[in-house]
Amino acid sequence: MHGDELPLFFYSDLFIKHPQVRELFPVSMATQRGHFVDALVKIVSRADSVNDLTAFLQGLGRDHRKFGAVTEHYGAVGSSLLATLEHFSGPAWTPELAADWKEAYELIASVMTEAATADEQLQPAWWRGTVVASERRAFDICVLFVRPEPRLDYLPGQSVAIETPSRPKLWRYFSMANAPRPDGLLEFHIRLIDGGAVSMALTSDTIVDTEVRLGPPVGVLTLSQPLSSQDLLLVAGSTGLAPLKAILDQVTALPQPPKVHLFFGARTADGLYDLDSLEKMAAQHPWLTVTPAVSADPRFNGETGSLPDVVARHGDWSGHEAYLAGPTEMVQEAARRLISADMVNDHIHIEDFGWSEP
């Protein structure tokens, strides 16, 4: 392999031969080249496990709909891929090799386009979403309300990729913070990431009334048995609260809600941006306990320390279904602590964006 040179050549070749394809991609291609190589590596490494590979390619094909990829693009990509391989193989490139690659690529493309075509019958490639309101809850956290068109249905705990007009072709995943509502409105909790292009656009004051694009709902952080009587442990770090609040919203509507204990952690007290509404809910529902925790402010009038520590201090969670969301390190540490406290792995649910993590 030639590191970055191979995808660089591939995309340049593609864009010179088919200039109209360029506009499907963001300005900076650095991340894109990485994705391209990752996908190739995954395809090659799964080549002997047909089921795995097929599922991966089907997902890839469906996911590419929101980027605006259509069947005609697949031919263009194939010919540039062959040209790239030929260029880098030099004299080792033979007509037989070319024929093999062509056949393999056509197989890959057919699995992807078939999945994309089947998906067209089920849902749009993307939804138009109008940002109807933005509430600044902390200096770096905003709660957005978005009205999708047409209606977007999903499971509480799932996420959608969002693209803003000021950052074209950059899609980032955000979880809905409410269960589907009759009026279809979606709530998102956005934290400004240092240097994060999309989060910066979404937390900007000018986001209200803009039209964003929403990809189809994805994610597995959903109630495994919606009507199960098992008690729930919800552990939310910062805006990881969003998917868990959606689950809470879903539980609230059950005729006989299970006992729910929600831990909501942040670095400082002003990072507990949604505590008021959670405490109101807890006052209303005897089955709900909310425990706020702050990790970097000893003055905080409540639980202090890292969220996994605080959760562990609250004792025995066996017999609970645990849902964890937040910064990756916090989630992994919390999961590790729960497992070492005899909680069964199957009862711990964390978000997994799989290959398409932005």
Task: Report the interface residues with other proteins, using CB under 8 A.
Answer: 1-5, 8-9, 11-13, 15-16, 27-31, 34, 87, 90-91, 139-140, 192-197, 200, 270, 299, 301, 357-358
Min separation Cβ 27 and other proteins, Å: 6
Min separation Cβ 139 and other proteins, Å: 5
Complex with other proteins: residue 12 or 229, whichever CB lies closer = 12
Complex with other proteins: residue 137 or 347, whichever CB lies closer = 137
Complex with other proteins: residue 316 or 357, whichever CB lies closer = 357
Please, what is the Cα angle at 174 between 173 and 177, to 5 degrees? 155
Q: Do the strands 186-191 and 303-304 form a parallel or antiparallel pair, or are they unpaired?
A: unpaired
Complex with other proteins: residue 16 or 341, whichever CB lies closer = 16
Min separation Cβ 88 and other proteins, Å: 8
186 within 8 A of 152, measured Cβ to Cβ: yes
Q: How would you classify residue 263: left for phi > 0, otherwise alpha for psi between -120 and 50, otherwise beta?
A: beta
Complex with other proteins: residue 183 or 299, whichever CB lies closer = 299
Complex with other proteins: residue 165 or 358, whichever CB lies closer = 358
Q: How far is CA 156 from CA 153, 196, 358, in A?
A: 9, 26, 21
Min separation Cβ 310 and other proteins, Å: 19
62 within 8 A of 116, measured Cβ to Cβ: yes
SS3 of residue 82 by DSSP: helix
C-alpha 61/C-alpha 5 separation (Å) is: 25
Min separation Cβ 101 and other proteins, Å: 19
Min separation Cβ 255 and other proteins, Å: 40
Cα-based torsion angle of the residue sequence 200, 163, 328, 241 in order, rounded to the nearest 10 degrees: 80
Tokens of 241: 């609260």
Nearest Cα neighbor of 264 from 288, 283, 285, 230 is 288
Question: Which helix or strand (DSSP H or E) is residue 322 part of?
Answer: strand 320-325
